[in-house]
Amino acid sequence: MKTLIEVAGWLRSRGHVSGTLTPWDNLAPQAQRQWLEEARELMRIVGMEYEEKVSTTDEAPKALGLSLPDIAPQDNWQHRAENMRCRTCMWYVPKSEKLGRCRFNAPTIKGWPAMFPGDWCGSHKIDENKV
């Protein structure tokens, strides 16, 4: 006799249960319970015997094949941000050795925003002449 999770995995592998794009651990507890209830109903229809021994957090993802690889793509340009600082940005205008102004952001009553050469706002546009 198989566990409910093993039988549900078997049904899923044969197309009786539709898969999900959401990893099991990311499903809400209500969605996990609903999925298992649908698996119970399918097994009742198919006529398979099963045990009610379920651990929804440990046993289920492996048996159901719901663990997916990391979906978020890696940033291929992350290495370019390592040395990006205001001093190499085209929007940075140095006023002294230790202070400058950022012309990327709009000026305020007191003028352009003050920036240190080692700061980085994230809106870097490299200036070929400064590098």
Compute the distance between CA of residue 116 and CA of residue 52 in angstroms, rounded to an integer. 64
Compute the distance between CA of residue 32 and CA of residue 61 in angstroms, rounded to an integer. 11
Residue that wins the pLDDT comparison between 18 and 39: 39
**pLDDT at position 57:** 47
- The model scores a pTM over 0.75: no
Task: Map out the domains of the chain as residue ranges.
Answer: 2-64, 78-115
Mean pLDDT of 101-111: 83
What torsion do the CA atoms of 56, 61, 62, 64 make, to the nearest 10 degrees?
100
**pLDDT at position 4:** 60
Residue that wins the pLDDT comparison between 123 and 101: 101
